[in-house]
Amino acid sequence: MTSTGLLIVSNVKRIQKSLNSIQKYVNNLYIHLNIPTTKIKPIPSWTKIISRIYSEGLTGTPQIDLKILITPLKTQLRGGNDTQPKPKIDMVFSDGKFPQICDSVRANFNIPNETIYLTDETTSNVDEQQNHDQETKTYDTVVLGGTFDRIHVGHKIFLTAAVLRTCKRLVVGVTDQNMLKTKRLPELILPVEQRIEDLKKFLLDIDSTLQYDVVPISDPFGPTQSDPDMDMIVVSAETLRGGHKVNELRAAKGLKQLDIFCIEMVEDFSDDGVKELKVSSSNTRIDLLGTRIRPKEPRSNLPSEPYIIGLTGGIASGKSKMAQRLHALGAYVMDCDKIAHEIYEPDQLCYQKIVEHFGEGIVNTTDKTIDRVKLGSIVFSNPAELEKLNSIVWPELLVEVKRRIKLAHESSGTKIVVVEAAILLKAGWDTECHEVWSMLVSPDEAIRRVVERNGLSEEEARKRIANQIDNQIVVEKSNVVFSSEWSPDYTQKQAEKAWTMITTELKQKTKE
């Protein structure tokens, strides 16, 4: 279901009931406020009622992407004609029997389908329990800033508060990659270009009458430090100090002070001990763990069965423990590290190739096994030799892994195989898997674990981490991402979420 609807709201008290009725029809919904001419008020005074609608939608029907239209509101309250481009609407709903306004909206949005009336009542209390803002001024130019990663309800309320107070130009600063290092799961933050495009689309959808300057910023203050034409800044409670700092900087440069409007944050009532207590992008990224963040690519080189999942991750990321979790859930797990040790044995082809290249000097005289310390002293001091060793081992290891996968499927009908391999991406084995799942922890947490587990100094641990594939690249090549940054129970929940997803998909595919 990808339908888009428009709900004409005349009674805010019924908003949750209306959304519940609509959720089976649409997953994208625009809201048009039906304001009687007797209840016209200054535009900013609608901030709280709009915040309430967004908040109730989040609580009751979070799967519906809500957008409250501001262009019609401004047109109705200020006068004039709404001639701006309209989004494509498939269905129109009304929470009351108002055929005249419904027909007008359908004509304005070019909606051919008849209105679906959710009730026959004609009572309108769109401003029921409306608390007027003390400040109802509007401004020519308003500014605000943030990360704006995957626009959520908190963003929508924040942005709408700014839009309601803007007459001509809204400036939005979007933090670029240089400002994301302290964020939770920064590797999952969308590229700044995509965040900017998503912002522009949302803003133009809700109010296409304004000029939008959406720009990347590499410091906390962006264009507020130099733009003389700004009039007001919108901040949240946690960034209020930043708003005052902006005015300090502007005063030092002889620029006019900005009025400050502070909007309340939306609470997040999930009680899992991991998320923030407010609706935030960090919480949204945490929710992505254990879900598919990137579509699978077709693998014509692989049979449909068994389904092969490549599991990778850096040192101390919890990769082996995740493999154990998936095994307990029903996966057949192959530990490539153990298999690599086995193909080093004297009766293996890989052993012969290694000895042929590096010489008998790496062989123990007693049992003819390869002395890994001697071999390590050669390859870790010479990048060319390390590359040569990898060019010998990785292809042989892949041949052995494939042989074992085939054997497991033929002998026991194995359906899902998890190939645990730290080298998976470096070796280019992602194309040998139907999809890639990866473990992620912050570099600081990985260093702490390596120091504690391996007894290394912090400097040595940092060197090991630095020699790995960067987390950002791992995420870019992964279909599913997990993080063991929090409690084992929370990591288990991620594993179960991903396992349920993949087993459900494979069962559905079998039915087809």
CA separation, residue 294 to residues 397, 434, 436, 473, 478 (Å): 27, 13, 10, 13, 7
For residues 143 and 113, membership in a common domain is answered with: no
Tens-digit pLDDT string for the chain (512 aa): 569 999 999 988 899 999 999 999 999 999 999 887 666 678 888 888 999 999 999 888 999 999 999 988 887 766 666 666 778 899 999 999 999 999 989 998 889 899 999 988 887 777 654 455 556 799 999 999 999 999 999 999 999 999 999 999 999 999 998 899 889 999 999 999 999 999 999 999 999 999 999 999 999 999 999 999 999 999 998 899 999 999 999 999 999 999 999 998 888 777 677 888 888 999 999 999 999 999 999 999 999 999 999 999 999 999 999 999 999 999 999 999 999 999 999 999 999 999 999 999 999 988 999 998 899 889 878 889 999 999 999 999 999 999 999 999 999 999 999 999 999 999 999 999 999 999 999 999 999 999 999 888 999 889 888 888 999 999 999 999 999 999 999 999 999 999 999 999 999 988 77
Query: Cα(first)–Cα(last) distance of the chain, in Å?
Result: 19
**Domain-embedded: residue 393:** yes
For residues 351 and 478, membership in a common domain is answered with: yes
For residues 340 and 475, membership in a common domain is answered with: yes
CA atoms within 13 A on the CB side of 298: 1
For residues 241 and 347, membership in a common domain is answered with: no
For residues 339 and 488, membership in a common domain is answered with: yes
For residues 177 and 258, membership in a common domain is answered with: yes
For residues 200 and 112, membership in a common domain is answered with: no
CA separation, residue 334 to residues 262, 392, 477 (Å): 54, 20, 20
- Count: domains in the chain: 3
Residue 81: the pLDDT is 64
**Domain-embedded: residue 274:** no
Largest Cα separation within the chain, whole Å, is 98
CA 144, distance to chain mean position in Å, is 22
The last residue of one of the domains, among 263, 279, 296, is: 263
For residues 220 and 348, membership in a common domain is answered with: no
**Domain-embedded: residue 193:** yes
**Domain-embedded: residue 291:** no
For residues 312 and 429, membership in a common domain is answered with: yes
List the domain range (segments joined by +) for residue 323. Answer: 307-511
Residue 78: the pLDDT is 66
For residues 111 and 221, membership in a common domain is answered with: no
CATH (domain of 387): 3.40.50.300
Helix ranges restricted to H, 348-382: 349-358, 372-379
Residue 80: the pLDDT is 61
The last residue of one of the domains, among 117, 150, 178, is: 117
CATH (domain of 205): 3.40.50.620
Residue 129: the pLDDT is 47
For residues 472 and 325, membership in a common domain is answered with: yes
**Domain-embedded: residue 124:** no
The last residue of one of the domains, among 263, 292, 318, is: 263
CATH (domain of 44): 3.40.50
CA atoms within 13 A on the CB side of 88: 2
**Domain-embedded: residue 483:** yes
SS3 418: strand
Q: CA-to-CA distance for 300 and 30, rounded, in angstroms?
A: 41
**Domain-embedded: residue 296:** no
CB within 8 A of 149, min separation 6: which ones? 189, 190, 195, 281, 284, 285
**Domain-embedded: residue 133:** no
In contact, 479 and 292? CB cutoff 8 Å: yes
For residues 349 and 485, membership in a common domain is answered with: yes
Helix ranges restricted to H, 279-371: 281-288, 319-329, 336-342, 349-358
